[in-house]
Amino acid sequence: MSSKQKKKTPEQQKYDILQKKHETKRPVLKNCLRAFLVGGIICTIGQAITYFYIYFFNFTEQTAGNPTVATMVFLAMLLTGFGVYDHIGQYGGAGSAVPVTGFSNAVVSAAIEHRTEGLVLGVGGNIFKLAGSVIVFGVFAAFVVALIKTILINWGVL
Amino acid sequence: MRFVRFSAILICTGLLFGCGTKGDDTKKSELALIKTTNPSPSVLDHRTEKNVDMAEGIKEEIQNYKEIYDAAIIKGDKDILVAYKVKHMYRFQMKKIEKDLKKKLEKKYPDEKFTISSDYKIFLEAVRLQEKMKNPDFSRKEANKKLQDIIKLQQEMT
């Protein structure tokens, strides 16, 4: 950073100071609170759905996770289609992006956006434009964790 | 306007849920997921003094654990089902508690086959089975079959 600063001409440095003066500050604390609230609400809804599956269907705590995720993804898909999730995302920020509903939103919004370009090259080619990286790094991280676990089991640590 | 609509939906949901609960004859199992029910241990076959004492002994053993706050014990023909709830702050050590409890019980009663679970669903089903057993029309055979179903459910991983 300092080396970059040195390279700047005096005019540029002056401009930087001026820019900093007029820059609107990011409300980090407010954003964090909103993300906490929105994320918390989404997770509470997820927990309620888990309990619903445990109570009314033959799912245990361990197996109820699968239908819960499916339901949350489905609900987020509907909300994205109706344009409600955009507002939630704008208000909640990371709180709405980190849970699985955010992933669903990323997939569905990309599909909607590229629908006009056709089903194959439009929807098919772009549906994972945003969510693709999540899948790639998710699968890779799972592979690394599984590898470490296998090694530890072989060594007799676990 | 939006607020009015939102509160109307909330009130309607509340009323629907409120009307759903039965008056005085609310069963223990209906609230087993959210409330401490502490059901007394039950024996399906051969209600001999030895079997009853054993079930009571298991209950006492479990009550010694500060991490556990609610336990349902059902002694069947060959198996003994022990379902319990773990206090929230100790849920990180759930596997350790399960291992420890199983070891202790198997040491104390070496001839018995234990199925131990901290899953809410197993607990709920155990309480439901105990309630059904109060009905004189519910046969021992049916009860044993139900117990086997619960044990099978506990072993399900996905």
Distance CA B29, CA B20 (A): 15
> Which residue is listed with tokens 């549906």?
A127
The total domain count for chain A is 2
Strand-by-strand arrangement of the B68-75 sheet? B42-43, B68-75, B79-86, B113-117
Q: What is the mean pLDDT of residues B34-46?
A: 81
Within a 10 A sphere around the Cβ of A32, how many other Cβ atoms?
Answer: 13
The answer, for B33 touching chain A at a CB cutoff of 8 Å, is yes
Q: When comparing pLDDT for B38 and A90, which is higher?
A: A90
A54/chain B closest Cα distance in angstroms: 6
A114 and A141 both lie in a single domain: no
Distance CA A94, CA A26 (A): 15
**CA dihedral (B34, A37, A105, A135) positive or negative:** negative
Closest to A97 measured CA to CA, from A152, A46, A42, A30: A42
Minimum mean pLDDT among A35-44, A131-140, B14-23, B55-64: which range? B14-23
A76 and A41 both lie in a single domain: yes
For residues A137 and A121, is the Cβ–Cβ distance under 8 A? no
With contacts defined as CB-CB under 8 Å, which chain B residues touch A61? Answer: 119-121
Q: When comparing pLDDT for B119 and B37, which is higher?
A: B119
Which residues, other chains included, contact B120 with Cβ-Cβ below 8 Å and sequence gap of 6+? A54, A60, A61, B33, B85
A58 and A33 both lie in a single domain: yes
Domain-embedded: residue A14: no
Position A60 scores a pLDDT of 93
Minimum mean pLDDT among A73-87, A118-132, B26-40: which range? B26-40
Distance CA A24, CA A13 (A): 19
A78 and A95 both lie in a single domain: yes
- pLDDT band at residue B82, thresholds of 50, 70 and 90? very high
A47 and A99 both lie in a single domain: yes
Distance CA A58, CA A72 (A): 19
Position B54 scores a pLDDT of 87
pLDDT in tens, B129-153: 999 988 888 888 888 899 999 999 9
Position A109 scores a pLDDT of 95
A136 and A113 both lie in a single domain: no
The answer, for A64 touching chain B at a CB cutoff of 8 Å, is yes
Position A148 scores a pLDDT of 97
Minimum mean pLDDT among A69-73, B16-20, B42-46, B106-110: which range? B16-20
Q: What is the mean pLDDT of residues A119-135?
A: 93
pLDDT in tens, B85-107: 999 999 999 999 999 999 999 99
Distance CA B76, CA B143 (A): 9
Position B119 scores a pLDDT of 92
Q: Which residue of A has its CA nearest to B121?
A: A60
Domain-embedded: residue A158: yes
- pLDDT band at residue A47, thresholds of 50, 70 and 90? very high
For residues B43 and B75, is the Cβ–Cβ distance under 8 A? yes
Distance CA A107, CA B158 (A): 25
A138 and A120 both lie in a single domain: no
Distance CA B40, CA B73 (A): 8
- pLDDT band at residue B7, thresholds of 50, 70 and 90? low
Position A53 scores a pLDDT of 95
A68 and A111 both lie in a single domain: yes
Q: Which residue of A has its CA nearest to B154?
A: A60
C-beta atoms of A54 and B158 within 8 A? no
A87 and A100 both lie in a single domain: yes
Q: What is the mean pLDDT of chain B?
A: 83
Q: End-to-end CA distance of chain B, in Å?
A: 45
- pLDDT band at residue B8, thresholds of 50, 70 and 90? low
A41 and A80 both lie in a single domain: yes
User: Whole-prediction pTM value?
Assistant: 0.80
**CA dihedral (A134, A135, A137, A142) positive or negative:** positive
Domain-embedded: residue A104: yes
A118 and A42 both lie in a single domain: yes
A99 and A32 both lie in a single domain: yes
- pLDDT band at residue B22, thresholds of 50, 70 and 90? very low
Position B14 scores a pLDDT of 59
The answer, for A56 touching chain B at a CB cutoff of 8 Å, is no
pLDDT at B80 over 60: yes
Of A51, A61, A66, the CB nearest to B119: A61
Structural domain range at position A158 = 132-158
- pLDDT band at residue B24, thresholds of 50, 70 and 90? very low
Position B33 scores a pLDDT of 81
Position B3 scores a pLDDT of 56
Token pair for residue B104? 């202790």
With contacts defined as CB-CB under 8 Å, which chain B residues touch A62? Answer: 119, 156-157
Percent of chain B with pLDDT over 70: 83
Count of all residues that appear for chain A in the document: 158
Closest to A129 measured CA to CA, from A108, A146, A149, A150: A108
Q: In chain A, what are the helix, strand and coil shares in percent, each to the nearest 5?
A: 80, 0, 20
